[in-house]
Amino acid sequence: MKWTISQIQKHRNKDFLIDEFVRMDSIKETEPTIREVSPIHLTGRADISATRVTFHIRIDGHLILPCSRTLVDVKYPIDVETTETFMLNSHDYEADEEVHQVTGDVIDLEPIIREILLVEVPMQVFCDDSAGQEGAPQSGKDWEVIEEQEKSEKLDPRLAGLAKFFEDSKDSSD
C-alpha cells in the first residue's frame, strides 16, 4: 500500500481505484491479545489534486481474539470505512484539519490501516455460547448461569403468596 507521489500524480484526471488484500501480521506484535489477523481487504478510491490526495477506503476482514470469559478464540469482524487525506505540500496545512503529512516521496497507507485496526479491537469480546465452542460451563454444583430475562420471569417460591395477594387486589378493584 505504498505509492510514490509521481505514480499517484499520473492518475490525477483518472479513476484511482483500490482493491487489494493486505497481510497485517505485524499488528500481533503491537497488540498481544490479537491471536490472528485475516487478510485485510481494502477497497475504495483516491481523489487526487495538485496539493492533496484523499483516500476513501473500506477495511474488511476479521481478527481472532480471546474470549474475555473463557479465552476461547473468537472471530471478531472488522468492517470500517475511513477517509484519509495526505497533504503533498506542507505549506498548505491548516491546523484544524486532520491530515497526514507526506514524508519523503512515498505515501504509505499501512501504518494508518494498522492504527485503525488497533482502535477497532474491543476491550472485551465474548464467545457465542450457542456456537458449539468449548466455552465456559453454564452450570455446576449449586449454580447455573441465567440470562436477565430468565431471572425476571422466575418467581421466588417464598414470594408466591404475595403475588397472589396483588392479583386478588386487582380483581377486587375492577
Q: How confident is the model at residue 78 (pLDDT cuts 50, 70, 90)?
A: very high
pLDDT at 76: 92
> What is the length of the chain?
174
Q: Is 43 exposed, middle or buried (0-12, 13-18, 19+ CB in 10 A)?
A: middle
CB neighbourhood size of 166 (10 A): 9
Percent of the chain with pLDDT over 70: 80
Give pLDDT, residue 1: 79
Assign 127 a pLDDT band (cuts: 50, 70, 90): confident
Q: Give the model's pLDDT for residue 173.
A: 60
Q: Which helix (H) or strand (E) holds 69?
A: none
* Model pLDDT, residue 147: 72
Contacts of 137 (CB under 8 A, 6+ apart): none
Residue 135 is predicted with a pLDDT of 59
* Residue 8 pLDDT greater than 60, yes or no: yes
- Identify which has the larger pLDDT, 15 or 156: 15
Mean pLDDT of 146-150: 67
Instruction: Determine how β-strand 40-48 pairs with β-strand 16-22.
Output: antiparallel
Question: How is residue 87 written as a grid cell?
Answer: 497533504
pLDDT at 23 over 70: yes
pLDDT for the residue numbered 155: 67
pLDDT, tens digit (0-9, with 9 covering 90-100), for 33-60 = 999 999 999 999 998 888 888 899 999 9
pTM as predicted:
0.68
C-alpha dihedral sign at 69, 71, 77, 78 = positive
